[in-house]
Structure 1
Amino acid sequence: MNNVLMVFASMTGNTEEMADAVREGLVSGNAVITVKEVFDANASELEAYEGIVLGAYTWGDGELPDEFLDFYEEMDDVDLSGKKAVVFGSADSSYPHFGAAVDILIAKLQERGCTVVAEGLKVEFSPSAEEKEQCKELGRRLLGLE
């Protein structure tokens, strides 16, 4: 697999930092990757790629960020059978559901027939150097390299 679409949402830059690190992992595995912020993407685009990477921060008490809601609803109209995916996001453990946006996206991908190949990666606020390495590993894992 080398044709990957990454779609993410970041408000403070934390999830974007994670996205950059995941992208590095994908590039190191020779993936051809298209990166889009969620407001520039349409869920129907997912069908054209072998690999899917979704990244979202968790908003409020455990919701998807507002800018991800339309994309999430559009996912009801796509068939992701045979596709592989990973999901990541930043979160705040002071809320009752840590990183729930990651779990919500994993459930939707699986509902649409996608195989999620790794546990969702959740990071408290901004990723540390070690967590950025975990993000790179997540990208390589999607490619079957880890």
Structure 2
Amino acid sequence: MNATIIYASLTGNNEEVAEIIQKQLQEQGVQTQLIEISQADAFELSSADLAIVVPYTYGEGDLPEEGLDFYEDLLDADLAGVVFGVAGSGDEWYADEYCKAVTEFDQQLAGTKATRGAQPVFIDLHPEAEDEQRLAAFTTSLIQTATQLEV
């Protein structure tokens, strides 16, 4: 099984979230590829078993500017057979805008014919031990969903 993890990070928090996900997947035998979002190609995700996006939310609920092309390309991508998940760090201080990019990427990926393998994970600022536990449940759910699709 292979996974492509795409992240966008301003503060380093989301890069750390992506690295935690990568480590957890590798510990379960999944081959991983970690890509910064400006270098990602939405159409290449079709070759992955798992596609994980870790975006930050900027300003008043805005998507990462360097990820806008990737986000828009997802509209035309056919990711049937791919299992996806979205996780990301944000600041709860922003209330309604908290981790809005995570929700928007989740909805965009749902429109690609990919299968949601886990509910989105929102992390307040820097990932702590309890966040790592939630991410472990997230990665396990992704793998289980992909395994069920293979049967």
In the other structure, the counterpart of 1:117 is 117
Larger fraction in helix? 2
In the other structure, the counterpart of 2:20 is 21
1:1-146 → structure 2 map (5 Å cutoff): 2-95=1-94, 96-144=96-144
1:4 alignment partner AA? A
Question: After TM superposition, what 4+ stretches of structure 1 lie above 3 angstroms from structure 2?
Answer: none
Q: Which has the higher contact order (CA 8 A, sep 6+)?
A: 1
Deviation, structure 1 residue 81: 1.4
Structure 2 unaligned runs (5+)?
Answer: 146-151
Structure 1 unaligned runs (5+)?
Answer: none
Distance 1:56 1:94 in 2: 18
Deviation, structure 1 residue 67: 1.0
Distance 2:137 2:15 in 1: 16
Moved more, 129-138 or 29-38: 129-138
2:72 alignment partner AA? E
Tell me the TM-score normalised to structure 1 length: 0.93
1:23 alignment partner AA? Q
2:98 alignment partner AA? F
Q: Is the 8 A contact 2:119 2:138 kept in 1?
A: no
Deviations 1:81-120 (A, max 9, x none): 1211111011112223211111101101111111112110
2:62 alignment partner AA? E
Deviation, structure 1 residue 140: 2.4
Deviations 1:59-81 (A, max 9, x none): 11212111110110111221011
Name the SS for the 2:72 alignment partner: helix
Tell me the TM-score normalised to structure 2 length: 0.90
Distance 2:137 2:27 in 1: 10
Distance 2:90 2:112 in 1: 25
Distance 1:122 1:35 in 2: 19
In the other structure, the counterpart of 2:149 is none
Aligned residues: CA RMSD: 1.3
Name the SS for the 1:127 alignment partner: coil
